[in-house]
Chain A
Amino acid sequence: MNTRLKTAAYVGPGLGWLALFMIIPCGIIFVYSFFERGTYGGIDFIFSFDNFNRALDPIYLNILLTSGRIAGLTTLIALILAYPAAYAISCAPTRRQPVFLFMVMLPFWSNYLIRTYAWIVLLNREGLINNSLEGLGLISEPLPLLYNEFAIITGLVYNYLPFVILAIYASLSRLNPEIREASEDLGASSLTTFLRVTLPLTMPGIAAGSIFVFVLSIGNFITPDLLGGGRLMMVGNLIYDQFLSARDWPFGSALSLMLIGVMMMLLFTQAIAVNKSMGERV
């Protein structure tokens, strides 16, 4: 009993804080999403599913689908870039691996706004890339690089790539090198070994990295706002507008709830997949 009390004393403030400032606020969002917007931007406490029906309205559905597509493409591109990079790091001499990894993670720790802003400077009509290409005489007209889906995806990949590399590297470095050698010893080629041994065993890292990028991309606000230039909306921007411009909190809440739903579904699927693969290994 004594130890239980002690644990409670240690854990209490932290869990209490999370309960008060995360669970309860999210609970409020949950409740709001079933109410209606009041005439003057307040909330009418009338129970309804209208907000969720509204989200399926073609205008909003389109935004949801665009968000999903952008997040999906971002995840795919990030994976394609990250896997070989993580593999290259894991093949480096053990002593130098932390340095390579540190170099990957360093940009990740700088300000997100600034990292995104850097791409405005690069992709601008008068930006560095257009300028250089024109200077080299390769193009006569500036390319429309900014304020489109391309810019958003570039920005998202740029911001989250380090984390995907880290996640994949983590599962690669946990891999016993003798397993790969065993596969080659049994007659498999390097490619077969990669496809049949390495890739399946690093799936947890791939899954963790993918979910992270997908969830953070689909709910992103800053990147579509700055690099999409308001021409392209994602769910995050829609939520932002419902709270700050349209003053429709219930609808904004419903959209947020849907984002949380997507996030929980993905995490749940991952947890089951991990449990299953652990079970198989035992």
Chain B
Amino acid sequence: MKTPQKTIGMRLLGGHLWVVYTFLYIPILVLMGLSFNDIGMPTAWGGFSTKWYGVLLENDAVLNAAKNTLIVATVSTFLATLVGTMLAIGIESRGRKTSSALEALLFAPMIIPDIVLAIALLSFFTLLDFTLGLHSIILSHVVFNIAFVSAVVRTRLKNFDFSILEASIDLGASEFTTFRRVTLPVIFPGVLAGGLLAFTLSVDEFIIAFFTAGAGSSSTTLPMQIYSMIRFGVTPEINAMATIVMLVSFTLVFISQRINKGSSVS
């Protein structure tokens, strides 16, 4: 039986949770709401309109940046998913405790301040006289994406019974067949979730892209475009773009949640 005291305590806790949710969602909802405001300014409501989306779609710089972001995110996700998954399998299949040095190495890209990684990569590319552009952004994004993909896939491999691989070989399958018919199908939800996470991160990443993109606007990515628009001031176009970008991110997160659902029960 619950004491009345406890109930009051629980109510307070519950109330606090909803305050936190309000804090988390108000800014997002305000932006989304404003994007449909005809005047475009938060000062007053001028009626529902989608005209800012129209303005946005006519902005060539934005469209070009969106295209660049799509290229960077797709390629870096593909590379990071491939390499990160292999890394995760390699580490987890050894069947012994991972050394803390290796854990630290895999954790570092997730927590190192992006400004530090950004200037480090800029120094590196400059020292090598490497031409900067979309390709250098891709190479850089793969760094932190490897860490995230391998972390997600490793979580999935924690409950993985590696003797099923030996069972497959024992039953006459080759290493390759075993990978194709056993390893991959079993870890696939983790790989896909890791890939979607990598894609989301790459789409959103600003500073590293900013430093490794090189001069000129040809390799501007969407976050770089958003940054320069924000620096310019509050404009209604940003609200529309913010809404679209957030909806895309949320959709990806929803999909990855769906995929990992049921399989992450442990």
* A-to-B contact residues, CB < 8 Å: 7-11, 13-15, 17-18, 21-26, 28-29, 32, 81, 84-85, 87-89, 91, 100, 102-107, 109-115, 117-122, 124, 126-128, 131, 158, 161-162, 165, 190, 212, 215-216, 218-222, 226, 236, 239-240, 243, 249, 252-253, 256, 259-260, 263, 267, 271
Q: Is the CB of A221 within 8 A of B234?
A: no
Q: Is the CB of B119 within 8 A of A29?
A: yes
Known contacts A14-B83, A111-B223, A216-B111: does B119 contact A222 (CB below 8 Å)?
no
Residue of A nearest to B21 (CB): A103
Please count how many residues in chain B sit with their CB below 8 Å of the partner chain's CB atoms: 81
State whether the Cβ of B13 lies closer than 8 Å to any Cβ in chain A: yes
Interface centre among B9, B21, B116 (most CB of A within 10 A): B116
Known contacts A106-B253, A131-B42: does B245 contact A114 (CB below 8 Å)?
yes
Known contacts A88-B14, A215-B113: does B142 contact A17 (CB below 8 Å)?
yes
Q: Is the CB of A109 within 8 A of B250?
A: yes
Known contacts A120-B234, A243-B211: does B146 contact A17 (CB below 8 Å)?
yes
Which residues, 66 to 86 on B, are CB-close (under 8 Å) to A? 83-84, 86
Complex interface: chain B residues within 8 A of A111 (CB): 203-204, 223, 226, 242, 245-246, 249
Other A-B contacts than A109-B250, A115-B28, A215-B111, 15 sampled, CB-CB below 8 A, are: A10-B87, A11-B90, A17-B146, A18-B143, A22-B108, A22-B109, A107-B25, A109-B249, A115-B27, A117-B31, A121-B31, A128-B42, A158-B24, A239-B116, A263-B111
In the bound complex, what is the Cα–Cα distance between A158 and B27 (angstroms)? 10
State whether the Cβ of B191 lies closer than 8 Å to any Cβ in chain A: no
Would you give the 0/1 interface string for B153-186, flagging 1 where the beta carbon is closer than 8 Å to chain A?
Answer: 0000000000000000000000000000000000
Complex interface: chain A residues within 8 A of B120 (CB): 22, 25-26, 28-29, 256
State whether the Cβ of B122 lies closer than 8 Å to any Cβ in chain A: yes
State whether the Cβ of B104 lies closer than 8 Å to any Cβ in chain A: yes
17 inter-chain pairs at a CB distance below 8 angstroms, sorted by A residue, are: A7-B90, A14-B87, A15-B87, A18-B146, A21-B142, A22-B117, A26-B117, A81-B20, A109-B200, A109-B249, A124-B234, A158-B24, A190-B5, A219-B113, A221-B115, A243-B211, A263-B113
In the bound complex, what is the Cα–Cα distance between A161 and B226 (angstroms)? 23
Complex interface: chain B residues within 8 A of A103 (CB): 21
Complex interface: chain B residues within 8 A of A113 (CB): 204, 206, 223, 226-227, 230
Complex interface: chain A residues within 8 A of B10 (CB): 88, 91
In the bound complex, what is the Cα–Cα distance between A263 and B108 (angstroms)? 9
* B-to-A contact residues, CB < 8 Å: 5-6, 9-10, 13-14, 16-17, 20-21, 23-28, 30-31, 34, 41-43, 83-84, 86-87, 89-91, 93-94, 100, 104-109, 111-117, 119-124, 127, 139-140, 142-143, 146-147, 150, 200, 203-204, 206-207, 211, 223, 226-227, 230-231, 234, 238-239, 242, 245-246, 249-250, 252-253, 257
